[in-house]
Amino acid sequence: MAARIIDGKAVAARLKEQVAAEAGRLKREHGVVPGLATVLVGNDPASEVYVRNKNKTAEALGFHSVSFHLAADASEPEVLARVRALNEDRDVHGILVQMPLPKQVREEAVLETLDPRKDVDALTATNAGLLLSGRAKLISCTPTGVMLLLKEYGVEVAGANALVIGRSLLFGKPAAQLLLAANATVTMAHSRTRDLPAECRRADILVAALGKPDFVQGDWVEPGATVIDVGINRVDTADGKYRIVGDVDYAAASDRAALITPVPGGVGAMTIVCLMRNTLIAAAALAGLSAAI
């Protein structure tokens, strides 16, 4: 039987409306307008598109939105000076420094400089530690999106065997923490995992975030499992164009899974809205308030 498709676009559209409504309330009742600043260093075309979309979405929600584009040869002190200025800017509540950075700018130096209260990507050590101790206000956007999708589709997380493939700071590690906090029995897999197919077959919730097109095979999926495909991979097509595929062989996996996220239109659709949600949460917290979202 074909799996039910998790419609990330529809869930993201509803979440966007909630964020807009709560932003409207904060403005009306407290005069707080959430502000997002993006910092792009260099001219990577994909990063340029990501940053533009983030600013456009912020504007569409009525947020204050500013963008800074530094040259590809910008020095680390220049980038850190920009981050410090944004830390001090009272109109800015969320700062997003687009990764990856050119090699002369150390990611850890940027993260050490960034005010954790404005760290809407939740990459600073402070926010990672707060997540570990169950006290985080700002949680990584894509893992948050995954948890919201599981909730929206009524997936029973407590007691489930959850497998997260990939252990990045951006996705795998925070996703595993969130699943653990929701009482799943969590396994983390990575490139040194001995028998990945066997680990997959034990999973009630299989989360793939390894960045390899169609890597997870259909017969690795336990019948009835929930499959969350985080991968975004560009694959060249015969006509000289490209298509976007996930980390899971979608057609084969959807014959066995009960629920599955498509790529595109699944997890990816949630990420940008979760970034706006984090900006709203940060704006409320910096004003001593709490966002009802």
Q: Note the residues at the interface with ligand NAP (CB under 6 A).
A: 142, 165-168, 170-172, 189-193, 196, 209-212, 230-233, 267-268, 271
Identify the active-site residue in 16, 98, 229, 247: 98
**Share of the chain residues as helix, strand and coil, in percent rounded to the nearest 5:** 45, 15, 40
Q: Annotated catalytic, 121?
A: yes
Q: Is 66 exposed, middle or buried, given 0-12, 13-18 or 19+ CB atoms closer than 10 A? A: middle
Residues in the chain: 293
Q: Find tokens 């074909």 and name the residue.
A: 2
- Contact present, 12 and 53 (Cβ < 8 Å): no
Nearer to ligand NAP, 189 or 284 (CB): 189
Q: At a CB cut-off of 8 Å and minimum separation 6, what does 219 contact?
A: 197, 252, 256
Least spacing, CB of residue 142 vs ligand NAP, in Å? 4
Max distance between CA atoms of the chain, in angstroms, equals 57
Q: Annotated catalytic, 54?
A: yes
Q: How far apart are CA 114 and CA 112, in angstroms?
A: 6
Nearer to ligand NAP, 74 or 200 (CB): 200
Nearer to ligand NAP, 75 or 191 (CB): 191
Which phi-psi region, left, alpha or beta, contains residue 135 (left: φ > 0; alpha: ψ -120 to 50)? alpha
Nearer to ligand NAP, 272 or 281 (CB): 272
Identify the active-site residue in 16, 54, 118, 173: 54
Least spacing, CB of residue 15 vs ligand NAP, in Å? 14
H or E element at residue 34: none
- Contact present, 145 and 274 (Cβ < 8 Å): yes
Least spacing, CB of residue 36 vs ligand NAP, in Å? 17
Least spacing, CB of residue 125 vs ligand NAP, in Å? 17
Nearer to ligand NAP, 180 or 287 (CB): 180
Least spacing, CB of residue 11 vs ligand NAP, in Å? 13
Identify the active-site residue in 16, 118, 119, 121: 121
What amino acid positions are annotated as catalytic residues?
A: 54, 98, 121
